[in-house]
Chain A
Amino acid sequence: METLNKEKKAIKGGEFLISETSPQDVFTPEQWSEEQKMIAQTCTDFVEHEVYPKVEELDAMKDPKLMPNLLDKSGELGLLGTSIPEQYGGFGMDFNTSMLIAEKVGAGYSFAVALSAHTGIGTLPILYYGNEEQKAKYLPKLATGEWKASYCLTEPDSGSDANSGKTKADLTPDGKHYLINGQKMWITNGGFADVFIVFAKIEDDKNLTAFIVEKGFGGVTMNEEEKKMGIKGSSTRQIFFNDCKVPVENMLSERENGFKIALNILNIGRIKLASATLGAAKGVIKNALNYSQERKQFGKSIAEFGAIKHKLGEMMARVYASEAATYRAGQNIDDAYDALVAGGMEEGEAKLKAVEEFAIECAMLKVHGSETLDFVVDEGVQVYGGMGYSADAPMERAYRDSRINRIFEGTNEINRMLTIDMLLKRALKGKLDLMSPAMAVAKELTSIPDFGGDDDERVLAAEHKLIKNLKKAGLMIAGAAVQKLMATLKDEQEILMNLADMLIQVYALESAVLRTERIIESEGVEAAKVHIEMVKVYAHYAVDEATKAGKQAIYAFAEGDEMRMMLMGLKRYTKVQPHNLKVARRTIADYCLDKGDYPFN
């Protein structure tokens, strides 16, 4: 697929914090090609025609064949092979297109989880780490869905601390097999998978090793389906490996490389989860828009009331920002991949390196996407009122199904801490210069505030200034925290999470602003009227969140004059231009109510 803007400036992961990005350097959903739109429509058609009519039946879990049959059908359409190269029976689509597919399928409740587990964590380890024989043997069958895949990392005593797993792999005396013994849990697609990516330890290794295990190898048994709060139609099992005999050639990559595989695959899983939450959120929005127009109280539709418009407007603004950020990062990954391949790197390795480069963004987007969806489903239930609580209306399922997103692919707490951890590591390694801008902010704090600089004539000049300032606020607090706490900062999880919250808001707001600016540039201010209102609404939300997080961090490690100075700095850097948000939300809501759907791409 053609990559837009070949001349774009190369950008590094995490760099957004210290440099300014131009609107021309970001991809926005307004730029999807005709072909990408057609692919998206195929996914939507599949979800609406094949999945929705069976949602109840899927969740009832009475027919164990139903989900694998649906996966087969999606395989016939090619939906399982989009990321797999053509020589292995797939379609070799670029990263952002695979994210768009994840979004459209993401509206499919439990089915979305089954499909993404198969195509993501189930297939990608083989695609990116498999040798030629392994790829040739497994990928064509995974691309069609003839074989279904699952990923066995988590154990009863090893969740977030994934490398602490107890599952063992022992070489047989003849050196031809490994015997795998252990227990894995929360295995998505476990009930019907033919192939399992299993992480186990060999002897007293410090790190995990990954294996491709076929169900047919024997020694694989499982518990009944887990009873879950949501995504009830998704098969989730505990799996036991008892002397499961795995040929040595089924080791994936090298011994002790499993933990790295697990982490790198999770990076991809995280950003794809962000796009999947977008699809789910847009589905909820569509229902909320329609229901609020049908439901009449006090002689008019509830959509005519400000209280409902407030909810609708806020939902739109947050999804708009999340969407802008998700595909901005997705394109960054595609661009980095293209550059690496052009530099001679092998394609699989290049894909991993490109995603790893943006691992900070992946973690932030996972948090932002899942929390945006949780907000949207919560308000969706509220728009439906009593019907929102009824299992006969779609909101109840959406509400339950949303909750898992804050837990799997690394909990949001882990992802918040990772965001800061990775950022600081890059700074230490000299890959990102956080020190000079942090010192510049510290210096600025003790000087007279700059009242000039208001000659920026861009429509969103105020928001640009705000973003610049929010970055300063983040650097000020992060810089001071690093200086003060040094090596103990890693144990101050609360502060790390506060810092992550600030960064996540900066990234989302900046993405929304850049997206809107691109629309203004290409279609004019009038066409971007509603988009501008969404940016204003989001900016106020972002600044409130960042201020709250910033204060809490400052309270947690600073005192006396230093604290006062930083609080003053925070106040200075979180100044926001007043805007009538009531009118803004009403404008957004009215526009979307008229369209009857999330209308921004």
Chain B
Amino acid sequence: MKILVCITHVPDTTSKIAFTDNNTKFDSSGVQYIIGPYDDYALARAVELKEAHGGSVTVLNVGTAESEPTIRKALAIGADEAIRVNAEPTDSFFVASQIAEVAKEGYDLILMGRESIDFNSGVVHALVGEMLGIVSVSPVMRLEVEGNTATMDREIEGGKQTIQIDLPFVAGCQEPIAEWKIPNMRGIMTARTKPLNVVEPVGGEKQVKLVDYELPAAKGAVKIVAQEEVNELVKMLQNEAKVL
């Protein structure tokens, strides 16, 4: 089984978010980068499937050279080789075009996180499926492959849905699809011997122009209202919070 796992290179979930250049640029100074947490689960499941069924896992990242430590971590976790498309990954359509270009090679499974955790567009898997003319499913919480057929659980409003699809397809993954993996010493030491190929982007003009970013308003102080002061509470909700 040939598996392609697309990973993002994103700020650690505990990073302090700030912007520079008139709120048009993310301030990356001192920020720790990680594999997108949802992508991390997709990768872990890919490695499990490879261990169970044989085959290979290729990781793909659309990003600059700064992503390489993150890519090598994916290799340490168990991917066999990596491809980096040398471009800034700012636009979903552009990123999906690059993935589709690589995926044309022919993969049985194309896995990625349900969404990135930086820009959270959550549409890349669908775009890739569309571009390749194959099914895309998200969010997938369980994925088993038997022969040419995959069985998966999908989260739906208030419950879950079990579906079967023939290979190949694209899946946006989320926990608990696999057990989260910490790279082991052997993996880390062999990561440097695995191929990491850099390719230049093809076509796919960026379609979105970024205007600026805005941080959410800081959380205000909490007011505690005594149980018997319900009228006071209603007044505050009407006049101060303006939600009633």
Contact = CB atoms under 8 A, between A and B. Distances in A.
B183 interface: yes
Interface string B63-79: 00000010011001000
B185 A82 contact: yes
Nearest to B76: A38
A91 interface: yes
A91 B186 contact: yes
A596 interface: yes
B226 interface: no
A39 B182 contact: no
B185 A34 contact: no
Contacts of B180: 49
B182 A49 contact: yes
B184 A35 contact: no
Given A46-B182, A595-B30, A35 B16 contact: no
Interface in A32-61: 34-35, 37-39, 42, 45-46, 49
Nearest to A43: B182
A218 interface: no
A15 B30 CA distance: 36
Nearest to A34: B69
Contacts of B186: 78, 91
Contact of B185 (A45, A78, A596, A599): A78
B188 A42 contact: yes
A81 interface: yes
B14 A596 contact: yes
Nearest to B189: A91
Given A34-B72, A38-B76, A39-B188, A77 B14 contact: no
Task: Classify the secondary structure of A's interface with B.
Answer: helix
B188 A599 contact: no
A38 B188 contact: yes
B32 to A, nearest CB: 9
Contacts of A594: 16
Contacts of B192: 35
A285 interface: no
B42 to A, nearest CB: 18
Contacts of B188: 35, 38-39, 42
A535 B182 CA distance: 36
Contact of A599 (B14, B30, B72): B30
How many interface residues does chain A have, given as a range?
A: 20 to 34
A157 interface: no
Given A34-B72, A91-B189, A42 B184 contact: yes
Contacts of A78: 184-186
B53 to A, nearest CB: 22
A77 B184 contact: yes
A588 interface: no
B22 to A, nearest CB: 22
A39 B190 CA distance: 12
B185 A91 contact: yes
Contacts of B14: 596
B182 A38 contact: no
A76 interface: yes
A62 to B, nearest CB: 26
Contacts of A79: 185
A594 B185 CA distance: 33
Nearest to B73: A38
Contact of A38 (B16, B30, B72): B72
A45 B187 CA distance: 15
Interface string B16-28: 1000000000000
Interface in A575-600: 594-596, 599
Interface string B35-78: 00000000000000000000000000000000001001100100
Contacts of B182: 42, 45-46, 49, 77
A42 B73 CA distance: 10
A45 B182 CA distance: 7
B101 to A, nearest CB: 28
Contacts of B183: 38, 42
Contacts of A77: 182, 184-185
Interface in B170-210: 180, 182-186, 188-189, 191-192
A599 B30 CA distance: 9
Contacts of B72: 34, 38
A566 to B, nearest CB: 48
Interface in A13-43: 34-35, 37-39, 42
A4 B73 CA distance: 22
A596 B69 contact: no
Interface in B1-33: 14, 16, 30
Interface string A70-85: 0000001111011000
Contacts of B76: 38
Contacts of A595: 16, 30
A188 B73 CA distance: 34
Contacts of A93: 185
B77 to A, nearest CB: 10
Contacts of A42: 182-185, 188
B178 to A, nearest CB: 15
Given A77-B185, A82-B185, A594-B16, 12 more contacts: A35-B192, A38-B183, A38-B191, A39-B188, A42-B183, A42-B184, A78-B184, A78-B185, A79-B185, A81-B185, A91-B185, A93-B185
29 contacts: A34-B69, A34-B72, A35-B189, A35-B191, A37-B69, A38-B69, A38-B73, A38-B183, A38-B188, A38-B191, A39-B185, A39-B188, A42-B183, A42-B184, A42-B185, A45-B182, A46-B182, A49-B182, A77-B185, A78-B184, A78-B186, A81-B185, A91-B186, A91-B189, A594-B16, A595-B16, A596-B14, A596-B16, A599-B30
Give me the 9 closest cross-chain CB pairs, A-B, nearest first: A78-B185, A77-B184, A45-B182, A78-B184, A91-B185, A34-B69, A38-B188, A42-B182, A42-B183
